[in-house]
A and B are shown apart, each in its own frame.
Chain A
């Protein structure tokens, strides 16, 4: 927007002055990109800091900032300190559009890092004109495979494996596991890009569910709906496999319904990586005995595994720069993305 206005003024000026070339030649050949000086790189994050999604994911920018503080205390990246500006979008697409626009136009960040959410970020990408402004949109926290479309999202790089990949690998896991393969399997999924991406992945894998997927709108899975679905499925003989492809609060609603109906041991539970965060499930009141034995997919080490060298290094940083915050999968994810970011800066400065 800013650049456009300036160009417009310049072209008016060039006509008026008639020696337009002189006006242009007074500008530097390559104007520096916003958000970067010899002493600082400014990055932006938009995601839920408050609200129900904020309870789960609100730690993410704090974890990134803690890592950047650690880097800054070690001299920054080639002498530049990293500054992170975080804005709360409450997991609402319209607000994400506003906040991301604010990051680009008002805060003048150099790049975005770790934006979270599929519906939120796809709306924000267009609204903030990230493509037109060539704003790097790095390590977006969604597995929506649509973001891989380079012509629509030319500056976006997602960090999570796609939900379609996850579904394909789940299908293979079920097929290859002798105790699961012969059982009837069912899918309960969020009815949006997220869940549908998963449904498509299972279809690509040729996986046959015993019934059409149970789809529910995001945030609309009530205890009554969950209890109804589980009661129906409990009539299926054997130990059916139940795949849950939704956010962690939905997984919690379903598991609590199973507790209420004494159906926990009736099913083999498989939770997707988004909805299988054990810390969050326990915090939402799911009983430890309920999650015991549940299956979940991951691409990270377990955040509770202090013997993992990355986890233990990040734990140290968390203790020092993120005081009072429990180290969990979200913190691990934030710090890992921040580390990749710094590596990119360091690498690029050399070339």
Chain B
């Protein structure tokens, strides 16, 4: 009950927004590209990989190898290759507060 009460006191709209700004880039996610949240960035994923569809509608990495690129929305700087590796999926798909 103490934990609940503490959580109750702390779960605020402002606190939630702050939490995403400070920690949102580090959370486990299914994306194959990084999440990019910060105090100054409000865009989640910041990259793409290219695939080729087959007749079944499966998207397979182009050329047989997954190549992830990240970039921004507003500069003329070319996208860069990313070596991002996802965090493992949380057990049973349930995130913990660690």
Contacts of A302 in B (CB 8 A): 51, 58-60
Complex Cα distance A106/B62, Å? Answer: 48
Q: Given A74-B92, A295-B50, are A136 and B42 neighbors across the interface (CB < 8 Å)? A: no
Instruction: Give chain A nearest CB distance to B62 CB in angstroms.
Output: 7
A22-50 residues with Cβ-Cβ distance < 8 A to B are 30, 32-33, 36-38, 41
Instruction: Give chain A nearest CB distance to B41 CB in angstroms.
Output: 7
Q: Given A297-B49, A340-B27, are A304 and B44 neighbors across the interface (CB < 8 Å)? A: no
Q: List 13 A-B contacts (CB under 8 A).
A: A78-B4, A111-B16, A135-B13, A157-B42, A168-B78, A204-B76, A292-B54, A297-B48, A298-B48, A302-B59, A340-B29, A342-B94, A348-B19
Q: Given A157-B20, A159-B44, A165-B71, are A206 and B76 neighbors across the interface (CB < 8 Å)? A: yes
A351 touches B93 (CB 8 A): no
Contacts of A232 in B (CB 8 A): none
Instruction: Give chain B nearest CB distance to A220 CB in angstroms.
Output: 26
A344 touches B52 (CB 8 A): no
A128-143 residues with Cβ-Cβ distance < 8 A to B are 134-136, 138-139
B6 touches A158 (CB 8 A): no
B4 touches A169 (CB 8 A): no
A58 within 8 A of B: no
A143-186 residues with Cβ-Cβ distance < 8 A to B are 145, 147-148, 150, 153, 155-162, 164-166, 168-170, 172-173, 177
A346 within 8 A of B: yes
A136 touches B43 (CB 8 A): no
Instruction: Give chain A nearest CB distance to B40 CB in angstroms.
Output: 7
Q: Which of A70, A79, A169, A278 has the most CB of B within 10 A?
A: A169
Complex Cα distance A135/B44, Å? Answer: 18
Q: Mark B58-74, 1 if CB is under 8 A from A, else 0.
A: 11101000000101111
A36 closest partner in B (C-beta) = B11
Complex Cα distance A111/B50, Å? Answer: 34
Chain B, interface size category, equals 35 or more
B57 touches A310 (CB 8 A): no
B95 touches A161 (CB 8 A): no
A168 closest partner in B (C-beta) = B71
B53 touches A348 (CB 8 A): no
Q: Given A204-B74, A288-B57, are A156 and B5 neighbors across the interface (CB < 8 Å)? A: no
Complex Cα distance A249/B62, Å? Answer: 24
A339 within 8 A of B: yes
Instruction: Give chain A nearest CB distance to B97 CB in angstroms.
Output: 4
A70 closest partner in B (C-beta) = B93
Contacts of B17 in A (CB 8 A): 134, 136, 155
Contacts of B49 in A (CB 8 A): 297-299
A317 within 8 A of B: yes
A139 touches B59 (CB 8 A): no
A293 within 8 A of B: yes
B52 touches A172 (CB 8 A): no
A296 within 8 A of B: yes
Contacts of B54 in A (CB 8 A): 292-293
Q: Given A38-B4, A148-B73, A158-B43, are A346 and B97 neighbors across the interface (CB < 8 Å)? A: yes
Complex Cα distance A282/B59, Å? Answer: 14
Contacts of B73 in A (CB 8 A): 145, 148, 162, 164-165, 197, 201
Complex Cα distance A206/B55, Å? Answer: 33
Instruction: Give chain B nearest CB distance to A142 CB in angstroms.
Output: 10
Instruction: Give chain A nearest CB distance to B92 CB in angstroms.
Output: 7
A310 touches B72 (CB 8 A): no
A278-310 residues with Cβ-Cβ distance < 8 A to B are 278-279, 281-282, 288-289, 291-302, 304-305, 308-310
